[in-house]
Structure 1
Amino acid sequence: MGSFVISKRKNGEFQFVLKAGNGQVILASEGYTTKAACENGIESVKKNSQDDKRFDRLEAKNGKPYFNLKATNGQIIGNSEMYESVAARENGIASVAKNAPDADVKEDLE
């Protein structure tokens, strides 16, 4: 089972990552000014990850595939790592869709 982990950046912003059951980070958020906004971002991932049209499949300048997850308003709510292949990226998207809806939320604010 996956989990969202909320942490605090050095600049004081909050961010979250979604980890798969094996502990691998499969989605990372932008920085949020408040914890409440960060929690709203998590809820948005839970909802939007169930709509395949919300995943933008992209390619970095170095040719590596990655994806962004967007909210209904078009704002990016999370992005993936760089993958070695398109198939690996698709597995990452499937993992986000599978893990996000029921993932618990943990905090690592130390």
Structure 2
Amino acid sequence: MGKFEINVDKGGKYRFNLKASNGQVILSSQGYTTKSACENGIESVKTNSQNDDLFERLEAKDGSPYFNLKASNGQVIGNSEMYSSSSAMENGIASVKSNAPSADVVDNS
């Protein structure tokens, strides 16, 4: 089962990572100024990850595919790593969809 981990970065901002059951990070957040805003971001991922239309499939300058997950208001709430292929990226999206709704939250802040 996946899990969300909340951490504080060097700049003092709260960030979360969604990790798959194998420990691999499959979605990372922006920096939030408060823990409650970060927790709201996690709830937004849990809800919005079930709508495929909210996954924005993109390509980096070097051609590597990656994705952003957006909230219903269009704001990006998480982004992926760079993938080696489109099929690997689609597997990452599928992993977010399956792990996010029931993932526990681990507060490392």
TM-score normalised by structure 1 residue count: 0.98
Provide, for residues 26-74 of structure 1, a one-character-per-residue CA deviation record: whole Å limited to 9, x for no partner: 0000000000000000000000000000000000000000000000000
Identity across the alignment (%): 69
CA distance in 2, matches of 1:55, 1:21: 21
Q: Which residue of 2 aligns with 1:59?
A: 59
- Does the residue aligned with 1:57 lie in a helix, a strand or coil? strand
How far apart, CA to CA, are the structure 2 residues paired with 1:44 and 1:22?
23
User: Hey, which bits of structure 1, 4+ residues long, moved more than 6 A?
Assistant: none
Distance of 1:14 and 1:55 partners within structure 2? 23
5 Å-filtered alignment, 1:1-110, equals 1-109=1-109
| Structure 1 segments unaligned to the other structure (5+ residues) | none
Q: Could you tell me how far apart the structure 2 residues matched to 1:45 and 1:84 are? A: 24
- Residue 5 of structure 2: SS of its match in structure 1? strand
Work out the CA distance in 2 between the residues paired with 1:70 and 1:60: 18
- CA positional deviation for 1:107: 1.2
Q: Distance in 2 between matches of 1:64 and 1:107?
A: 31
SS in 1 for 2:95: helix
Write the distance in 2 (CA, Å) between the matches of 1:89 and 1:32.
26
2:91 is paired with a residue whose SS is: helix
Count residues with an aligned counterpart. 109
CA RMSD of aligned residues (A): 0.3
TM-score normalized by the length of structure 2: 0.99
